[in-house]
Structures are given as C-alpha cells and as structure tokens.
C-alpha cells in the first residue's frame, strides 16, 4: 500500500468543524482512501472511505482532491467523544486476495471543551 502523511496532532474546540488533512502523493489508480479512528483503549473504527468523489456519511465527510494526491476528513461538529487517533490509509481495491490495512502514525485529535 502507498504511504500517507498526516500531522502528528491537531487541536480543536468542541462543536466546531475539524479538517484532518492527509497527503498521499504516490497513490495509484486502484487505491481507495480509507479513514479509521481509534478511541482510547479501543479497537480501530471505520469512519469513511472513497475513491475519487467526495463522500458523506453520518460520521464525517471525505473531500478528495481532483488529482487524488491528498484528502481531508471533515468532522462537521466535533464533540469530546471524537477525541481519538485518526488514520488515513490507502488500500488496494483491485480484489484478488485478502489484505490487511497498513496503519501509519495517524493524527492525534484533541478536542477542547
């Protein structure tokens, strides 16, 4: 899987939007962009994923650059429960065999009340 680059940490205030950036300049055409998060003392949790178009779900939005070399996870209204480590992961979507996810260091999101 191609490499991603994320800031080590970010801080935001409760009830404000949060934009978490991710750079993936070596992304290939078949790589899907996945976001997972890990709350303290819990297993990773799926947040959202996309290929080319922007995506929305009940948890977040994913904005993908036109050249696909970067993406941004958007939490529209952060709560204290959103404090976690957020991982941006590229995952080969071509099928043909099961594959594990390659986790980087992620971004530690701190939410201030």
Partner 1 sequence: DTAVSQTPKYLVTQMGNDKSIKCEQNLGHDTMYWYKQDSKKFLKIMFSYNNKELIINETVPNRFSPKSPDKAHLNLHINSLELGDSAVYFCASSHRQGEETQYFGPGTRLLVL
Q: Does residue 105 touch partner 1 according to CB under 8 A? A: yes
Closest CA relative to residue 33, chosen from 64, 58, 57? 64
Q: Does residue 91 touch partner 1 according to CB under 8 A? A: yes
User: Which alpha helices (H) appear in the chain, and where do they start and end?
Assistant: none
x/- site string to partner 1, residues 4 to 43, per CB under 8 A? ----------------------------x-x-x-x--xxx
C-alpha dihedral sign at 33, 34, 35, 40: negative
Q: Does residue 53 touch partner 1 according to CB under 8 A? A: no
Return the structure tokens found at 26: 């070596």
The nearer residue to partner 1, 46 or 65, going by C-beta atoms, is 46
The nearer residue to partner 1, 78 or 90, going by C-beta atoms, is 90
CA-CA-CA-CA dihedral for 42, 32, 90, 1, to nearest 10: 130
User: What is the binding site for partner 1 (CB under 8 A)?
Assistant: 32, 34, 36, 38, 41-46, 49, 51, 85, 87, 91-103, 105
């Amino acid at each position: 899987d191609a490499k991603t680059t994320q800031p080590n940490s970010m801080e935001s205030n409760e009830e404000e939007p949060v934009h978490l950036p991710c750079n993936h300049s070596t992304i290939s055409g078949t790589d899907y962009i996945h976001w997972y998060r890990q709350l303290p003392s819990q297993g990773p949790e799926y947040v959202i994923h996309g290929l080319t178009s922007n995506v929305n779900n009940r948890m977040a939005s994913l904005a993908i650059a036109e050249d696909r070399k970067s993406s941004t996870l958007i939490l529209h209204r952060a709560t204290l429960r959103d404090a976690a480590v957020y991982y941006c992961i590229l995952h080969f979507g071509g099928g043909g065999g099961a594959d594990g996810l390659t986790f980087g260091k992620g971004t530690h999101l701190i939410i201030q009340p």
